[in-house]
Amino acid sequence: MQVRFWGTRGSLPTSTGGASIREKIRQALRQADGRRWETDEQLEAFIDDALAFPVRNGYGGDTSCVQIASRREPTLLDMGSGLRRFGQQVMETPDQDRPTTFHFFMSHLHWDHIMGFPFFPPAYLPGNTIHIYGGHPENVLREAFLRQQSTPCFPVHWDQLGASIRFTRLETDRWHRINGFAVKLLRQAHHGGSFGYRIEKDGKALVYSTDSEHKQQDDTETEATVSFYREADLVIFDAMYSLADMITVKEDWGHSSNIVGADLCLRANVKHYCMFHHEPAYDDATLYEILQETRRYAEIVGEGKSLEISTAYDDMVLRL
Amino acid sequence: MAQMQRPAVAVHLDDLLRFASELAEREGFAPDRVRDVELAVEESLVNILTYAYPNRTGFVEVHREFDGRSLRVSVVDNGVPFDPLSVPVTGLTVDTARRGVGGLGILLVRRLADHVAYRRQEGANVLTLTFDRPPPTRTGDPVHPIRDDIMETQFQRIENTTLLAVKGRVDHKTAKAFEEVLKNTLDEASADGSPVLVLDLSGLEYMTSAGLRVLMIAAKTCTSRQQKLAVAALQPAIQEIFRISRFDLVLPVYPTVADALKALSPDAAVRWRE
Ligand SMILES: [Zn+2]
Ligand SMILES: [Zn+2]
């Protein structure tokens, strides 16, 4: 199984911004310290080896959109602004290889998870089929997309799209077979409800669990989450806030924290915990620092258990 | 000292005796001993319900207090003056008394409690039962498995300050128990007009987000009641967890208990001995 992140930011797209770029340049130059490189390869190697991730790269600013590699028909989770770049890639694919059927699993219908759709060119092409699955009722799913593409929000209306678009509600508590994947849903605590997905194929399991507030207040709910995550190879988790924020000023905002994610993944014997849905106010340096801290936290409370921890960034690819 | 007042009618019996036994349970009395507390308090209450208010419905109160060694439960009514200790004890064993619950009630109470005292005070009957907590038995029993769900608390009242020492591990297994202890401690502190609660975490070895969440609930309760909550004497790993979770920004953290007391309650700081 291979996973590609097209968008990882929470709530609203962000840009790196001039000040932050300038800071990266400043740090890179200081690190280079007058060094010279004979070849481009040497320069590339310097960038990769000597510069820290937030200096040489960044987490990106597109909102939630994750692709799971599948054979012919692409499979994606959510349609945040990251979907635009995926659509671009599809359109750059030579005609004979270009997919015509797409499968989307929707966590929920908040704006940051559907905003990429009007900018997804395959939706405009007659002959294409787009399956949109979710835990919400079909009319609720449809309504959200319809409203987004109607006056005054967007000039191109829903009924002007060329593709055939099908909405399907997926029940929780049973496995579904879709596009070669075994798929199960878990209802999560979030405004209007959201759904986590456990997706399995070839003996590998991925959990996509974003926009979910794990209060750990109700044991039944916590246990349900732990068993949903159990032994997963990868858990993509809404780690938007610090724990203190999550349970004080941002209580009931519908998101979780980096260390709650670590605790749940440790309890569930997860292999790889991937933090996702980043707070728009956090810059690259902050997100990088949070990653170090979360690793340290898991080391302290993990008591010898091994848990790989990463922070998702736009264009990151993971192989399970 | 916390108290509960209810009309002296049978429907409130359970609430009242559980109010007493709950503290015994929380303070680590053995299950048998907790049942003794319940039984003794029940007998005392039944006595009041039956005899104290022949012509009217009055009130009954249960006061409870634990001083680190003994649980003191007082049962108070302002009905007909009656000293149950004036009844002579002859030829009674606990076993026969148990069979005769009701008639032999007060005698049973005297057997179950380590100490019983009666006083008539400001028009009220006050019967105080004391139950000593035996020191924890140390067993070197090899078949006893190593437990990872141990959380212990120790309570101390110093002037206007409640000092609660938390030991062991607070994670998803023990968080509920920790939540209950903190809630009850805060309720009692509030009932006693004790505005400061200091958590001595020097014995806390392990804490996850489940435990931090409980601390935050306590902090919110304190804020709403204008009580002050602080934590002190964190071990280095716990200190790190506080920093990573940003709890050091929302809860006052002091290097030692003495520092916390000095900052929050100078009176308690003077009286406190480590
Ligand atoms: Zn979102
Ligand atoms: Zn949302």
SS3 B97: helix
| Contact between residue B48 and residue B77 where contact means Cβ atoms under 8 Å apart | yes
- Written as six digits, the tokens of B160 are 């206007």
The rounded Å distance from CA B61 to ligand 1 centre is 53
Compute the distance between CA of residue A304 and CA of residue B260 in angstroms, rounded to an integer: 34
How many residues are there in chain A?
A: 320
Compute the distance between CA of residue B16 and CA of residue B55 in angstroms, rounded to an integer: 22
- Written as six digits, the tokens of A131 are 């399956």
Residues of A with CB under 8 A from a CB of B: 215-217, 219, 222, 242-245, 247-248, 257, 259-260, 262-263, 267, 293-294, 296-297, 300-301
In 3D, which of B258, B262, B259, B260 has the Cα closest to residue B273?
A: B258
Predicted confidence at residue B92, as pLDDT, reads: 45
Query: Å from A290 to nearest chain B CA?
Result: 8
B70-125 pLDDT, tens per residue? 899 999 998 888 887 776 544 444 444 443 334 456 777 888 888 888 888 888 88
Predicted confidence at residue A173, as pLDDT, reads: 83
Superfamily holding A2-14+58-319: Ribonuclease Z/Hydroxyacylglutathione hydrolase-like (3.60.15.10)
B159-211 pLDDT, tens per residue? 889 999 999 999 999 999 999 999 999 988 888 888 899 999 999 999 999 99
| Contact between residue A237 and residue A209 where contact means Cβ atoms under 8 Å apart | yes
Cis before A152 (ω within 30): yes
Predicted confidence at residue B240, as pLDDT, reads: 95
CATH class assigned to B151-271: alpha beta
Which ligand minimizes its atom distance to the CA of A63? 1
CB within 8 Å of A61: residues ≥ 6 apart: A9, A13, A14, A15, A16, A280, A314
Superfamily holding B2-132: Histidine kinase-like ATPase, C-terminal domain (3.30.565.10)
Q: Residue range B233-245: average pLDDT?
A: 95
Does B2-132 match B151-271 in CATH topology? no
**Does the distance separating the beta carbons of B212 and A263 come in below 8 Å?**
no
Q: Give percent of chain B above pLDDT 90.
A: 37
Backbone angles phi, psi at B4, to 5 degrees: -135, 130
Predicted confidence at residue A240, as pLDDT, reads: 93
Predicted confidence at residue B98, as pLDDT, reads: 40
Compute the distance between CA of residue B131 and CA of residue B145 in angstroms, rounded to an integer: 30
Backbone angles phi, psi at B10, to 5 degrees: -60, -30
Predicted confidence at residue A150, as pLDDT, reads: 96
Q: Is A207 left (phi over 0), alpha (psi -120 to 50) or beta?
A: beta
Q: What is the pTM of this model?
A: 0.75
| Contact between residue A230 and residue A268 where contact means Cβ atoms under 8 Å apart | yes
Predicted confidence at residue B88, as pLDDT, reads: 54
pLDDT-derived band at B135, boundaries 50, 70, 90? low
Question: Which residues in chain A have their CB less than 8 angstroms from residue B208's CB?
Answer: 259, 263, 301
Q: Is A103 left (phi over 0), alpha (psi -120 to 50) or beta?
A: beta
Question: Which residues in chain B have their CB less than 8 angstroms from residue A297's CB?
Answer: 240-241, 244-245
Query: Position B142: which residue type?
Result: P
Predicted confidence at residue B144, as pLDDT, reads: 39
- Please list the residues that pair with A106 across neighbouring strands: A134
Nearest-by-CA chain B residue for A215: B213
B244-268 pLDDT, tens per residue? 999 999 899 999 999 999 999 998 9
| Contact between residue B211 and residue B175 where contact means Cβ atoms under 8 Å apart | yes
| Contact between residue A235 and residue A224 where contact means Cβ atoms under 8 Å apart | no
> How would you write the pLDDT of chain A (320 residues) with one tens digit per residue?
999 999 999 999 999 999 999 999 999 999 999 999 999 999 999 999 999 999 999 999 999 999 999 989 999 999 999 999 999 999 999 999 999 999 999 999 999 999 999 999 999 999 999 999 999 999 999 999 999 999 999 999 999 999 999 999 999 989 999 999 999 999 999 999 999 999 999 999 999 999 999 988 888 899 999 999 999 999 999 999 998 888 888 888 899 999 999 999 999 999 999 999 999 999 999 999 999 999 999 999 998 899 999 999 999 999 99
**Does the distance separating the beta carbons of A300 and B241 come in below 8 Å?**
yes
CB within 8 Å of B197: residues ≥ 6 apart: B161, B162, B164, B185, B186, B189, B218, B222, B227, B228, B229, B230
A144-195 pLDDT, tens per residue? 999 999 999 999 999 999 999 999 999 998 999 999 999 999 999 999 999 9
Predicted confidence at residue B81, as pLDDT, reads: 85
**Does the distance separating the beta carbons of B247 and A297 come in below 8 Å?**
no
Backbone angles phi, psi at A54, to 5 degrees: -70, -15
How many residues are there in chain B?
A: 274
In 3D, which of A66, A64, A75, A53 has the Cα closest to residue A8?
A: A64
CB nearest B210 (choices: A216, A296, A300): A216
Query: Position B198: which residue type?
Result: V
Strands (E), chain B: 2-7, 59-66, 70-77, 115-121, 124-132, 151-158, 161-170, 196-207, 228-232, 253-254
The rounded Å distance from CA A254 to ligand 2 centre is 7
The residue extents of the domains of chain B are: 2-132, 151-271
Compute the distance between CA of residue A181 and CA of residue B244 in angstroms, rounded to an integer: 37
Compute the distance between CA of residue B71 and CA of residue A159 in angstroms, rounded to an integer: 75
Predicted confidence at residue B256, as pLDDT, reads: 96
* Alpha carbon distances (Å) from A269 to A114, A226, A233, B176: 32, 9, 9, 23
| Contact between residue A176 and residue A135 where contact means Cβ atoms under 8 Å apart | no
The rounded Å distance from CA A317 to ligand 1 centre is 21
Sheet holding B253-254, edge to edge: B151-158, B161-170, B196-207, B228-232, B253-254
Residues of B with CB under 8 A from a CB of A: 171-172, 175-176, 206-210, 212-213, 216, 220, 237, 240-241, 243-247, 249-250
Q: What is the ipTM of this complex?
A: 0.89
| Contact between residue A1 and residue A206 where contact means Cβ atoms under 8 Å apart | yes
Question: Which residues in chain B have their CB less than 8 angstroms from residue A215's CB?
Answer: 213
- Written as six digits, the tokens of B166 are 């938390």
